[in-house]
Structure 1
Amino acid sequence: MREHLYWGTQMEQIDREDQVSMTIDDDEILDPGSETDEVNSSNGSDRDGFGQVFTGNGMVSLGEGSKEHGLIKKSFLMGMGLIAKDTNVVAIHKNLNSGFTRQARFESFRVFSKAVAQKCGGDANVKYAWYGGSREEISGIVSHGFSQCGRPASDHSHGVGVQLFPAKFSIDGALSSVADENGVRHMLLCRVILGKPEVVHQGSKQSHPSSKEFDSGVDNVLAPRRYIIWHTFMNSHVLPEFIISFKAPFLKESQRQQANNAFKKPTSPWMSFPTLISILSKFLYPSKMDLITKCYQDFRANKIKRPALIQRVRNIAGDKLLAAVIKSYRNKARTT
Structure 2
Amino acid sequence: MDFSSSGDVKAAIMRPAAAAAAAGGTSTLLRGWREFRRSGAPARFLCFEDGQWVDVTGEAVPWLRRAFQERRAMAVASCGGKAYLFDFLRMVRIDGATGEETGLAWIDHRGGCFFPAPADCGGGRNKRKRDDAPAPEDEAESSSGVDERSGESPGVDAKKRKAWAGNAAARLEENDKYYQVVSKLFLNYGMAQRGAAITAVRKVAHGARTAAFQEQAQLLANARGAAAGTAKFAWYGASADDVAAVVDQGFVRNNATRLGARKHGDGVHLSPPQCPYTSAMLAKADRTGEAHIVLCRVLMGRPEAVPAGSSQSCPSSHSYDSAVDKPENPQWYVVWNKDMNTRILPEYVVSFKCSKLQQMQESSEATSKLKKRSPVVRDMFPTLLAEIEQIVPDKSNLLQESYNSFKMGQLKKDQFIRFLRSYVGDKVLTTVAKKLRGC
The normalised TM-score by structure 1 is: 0.62
Structure 1 distance, partners of 2:289, 2:255, is: 31
Residue identity over aligned pairs, in percent, reads 30
User: Is 1:238 aligned with 2:348?
Assistant: no
Q: 8 Å contact 1:207–1:231 — kept in the other structure? A: yes
Q: Which deviates the most, 230-239 or 139-148?
A: 139-148
Shift of 1:34: 5.9
Q: Is 1:109 the equivalent of 2:219?
A: no
Kindly report the root-mean-square deviation, in angstroms, between the aligned alpha carbons of the 2 structures.
3.1
User: Which segments of structure 1 move beyond 6 Å, counting only runs of 4 or more?
Assistant: 149-153
For 1:249 and 1:24, locate their aligned partners in 2 and report how far apart those are by CA, in whole Å: 30
User: Structure 2 CA distance, aligned partners of 1:121 and 1:60?
Assistant: 35
Residues 265-300 of structure 1, C-alpha deviation per residue, up to 9 Å, x if partnerless?
46xxxxxxxxxxx88x89xxxxxxxxxxxxxxxxxx
Judged with a 3 Å threshold, the aligned counterparts in structure 2 of structure 1 residues 176 and 265 are, in CA distance, closer, same or farther, namely closer
Which position in structure 1 is the counterpart of 2:300? 194
Q: Give 1:59's aligned residue.
A: 169
Candidates 116, 119, 144, aligned match of 2:249: 144
For residue 33 of structure 1, what is the aligned residue in structure 2? 14
Which structure's CA Rg is the greater one? 2
Amino acid in structure 1 at the alignment position of 2:238? G
Preserved contact between residue 95 and residue 240 of structure 1 (Cα < 8 Å): yes
SS at match of 1:80: helix
Mapped partners of 1:221, 1:151: distance in 2? 19
Q: Which amino acid aligns with 2:295?
A: L
What is the CA–CA distance in structure 1 between the aligned matches of 2:297 and 2:241, rounded to whole Å? 21
One-letter code of the match for 1:104? A
Corresponding residue for 1:96?
Answer: 205
Code of the residue aligned with 2:169 in structure 1: it is M
Q: 2:223 maps to which residue? A: 119
TM-aligned CA deviation for residue 184 of structure 1: 0.8
CA gap 1:119/1:34 in 2 versus in 1, 3 angstroms? closer
Structure 1 residue 248, shift from structure 2 partner = 1.3
Higher mean C-alpha displacement, 67-76 vs 55-64: 55-64
Change (3 A) 1:121 1:216: same
Evaluate the alpha carbon distance shift between residue 87 and residue 133 of structure 1 in structure 2; reply closer, same or farther with a 3 A threshold.
same
Whether contact under 8 Å (2:164, 2:204) holds in the other structure is: no
Look up the match of 2:356: 250
Alignment size in residue pairs = 231
Give the counterpart letter for 2:330 in structure 1: P
**Contact persistence 1:29–1:167 (CA under 8 A):** no
Partner Cα separation in structure 2 for residue 156 and residue 212 of structure 1: 25
Letter in 1 for 2:193: A
The 1:27/1:131 distance shift into structure 2, 3 A limit, reads same
* Structure of greater relative contact order (alpha carbons < 8 Å, 6+ residues apart): 1
Q: How is 1:205-216 mapped onto 2 (pairs within 5 angstroms)?
A: 205-216=311-322
Give the 3-state SS of the residue equivalent to 2:351 in structure 1: strand
Pair 1:134 & 2:243 matched: no
